Amino acid sequence: MIDDEHREVAVPAEVRRVVSLVPSLTEAVATTAPGLVVGATDWCTHPVDLGAERIRGTKNPDVERIVALAPDLVLANQEENRLPDLDALRGAGLPVYVTDIRDVDGGLGSLGRMLGACGLDEPPWLREARELWAGIRPVQPRRRAVVPIWRRPWMAVGSDTFTGAVLDRLGVGNALADSPERYPRFDPATLPEHDLVVLPDEPYLFTADDGPESFAAPSVLVSGRLLTWYGPSLVDAARDLPAALEHAVPRSTDR
């Protein structure tokens, strides 16, 4: 089996135990095959009835605990997980399948291949996501947004990100797409031209009272899961994000 990094992964003929190091991948597998995921990160919140053992975070997984779980396959992501951790798991004899997801269509294809590596057929939610995203109507007129992900210090979505690709498909360009960094720091007072600020509720929990007051442009609060996760959340994202973005109408008095 070849993963998204073009590595050959020695996946066993039958996969019965999976450890996932990424919340989106956990949701994708556990929704498709309940009980298959035996280990997941502390940040894996979906599905809500997930009963897997927790193995710390995406950046600091407990390698010894993962090895002790004896998974048939470990699922990871090129951006979310650190190479030293993945190499340690490989060194312990575990097959590690790495995804690399940077846009919607590529993500849908990657998810299908990953589920196939787990011995699973394409599930209904993935077929529905393909259909919904194929029929997406971008918001009109096209918007240009800043997408903060943190404050103190302020950080935002920059270049080459899944989040930026999702918004672009929805008719919202990223004002910081030309940044040399994927998640640059910024000063709200010196941002490039934009007419919208998209404020997700993760990783920083922006609220109506914490975030919009810092920007001159109108803001819209959205679910971070719909904006940054890939998996079953792509179904809800296709249904709900367009309407949420259209409700943020520019106002000349926003100061």
Same-domain pairing of 103 and 159: no
CATH number reported for the structural domain that contains residue 103 in this entry: 3.40.50.1980
> On the CB side of 47, how many CA atoms lie within 13 Å of its CA?
14
Asked if the structure places residue 130 within a domain, the reply is no
| Phi, psi torsion values for 174, nearest 5 degrees | -95, 120
Same-domain pairing of 118 and 217: no
> Can you name the residues that pair with 219 across neighbouring β-strands?
197
Asked if the structure places residue 9 within a domain, the reply is no
- In sequence order, the 6+-apart residues with CB closer than 8 A to the CB of 203 are 149, 150, 224
Host domain of residue 113: 18-122
Residue type at 122 in one-letter notation: E
Task: Flag the least confident range among 91-105, 109-123, 234-248.
Answer: 234-248
Asked if the structure places residue 27 within a domain, the reply is yes
Asked if the structure places residue 171 within a domain, the reply is yes
Asked if the structure places residue 129 within a domain, the reply is no
Asked if the structure places residue 200 within a domain, the reply is yes
Compute the average pLDDT of residues 189-197. Answer: 96
pLDDT at 248 (0 to 100): 65
Same-domain pairing of 22 and 110: yes
pLDDT at 167 (0 to 100): 97
Asked if the structure places residue 255 within a domain, the reply is no
Same-domain pairing of 101 and 148: no
Write the DSSP string, 22-64: SHHHHHHHHHHSTT-EEEE-TT---STT--PEE---SSS--HH
DSSP H helical ranges for 98-246: 104-117, 124-134, 162-169, 224-228, 233-246
Domain boundary among 92, 122, 152: 122
Express each pLDDT in 211-239 by its tens digit.
999 999 999 999 999 999 999 999 999 99
Question: What's the total number of domains in the chain?
Answer: 2
Same-domain pairing of 68 and 149: no
Instruction: Tell me the C-alpha distance between 74 and 85, whole Å.
Output: 11
Domain boundary among 122, 147, 172: 122
Q: With bands split at pLDDT 50, 70 and 90, how would you rate the model's confidence at 246?
A: confident
pLDDT at 247 (0 to 100): 72
Express each pLDDT in 195-215 by its tens digit.
999 999 999 999 999 999 999
Express each pLDDT in 166-176 by its tens digit.
999 999 999 99
Asked if the structure places residue 2 within a domain, the reply is no
Same-domain pairing of 163 and 232: yes
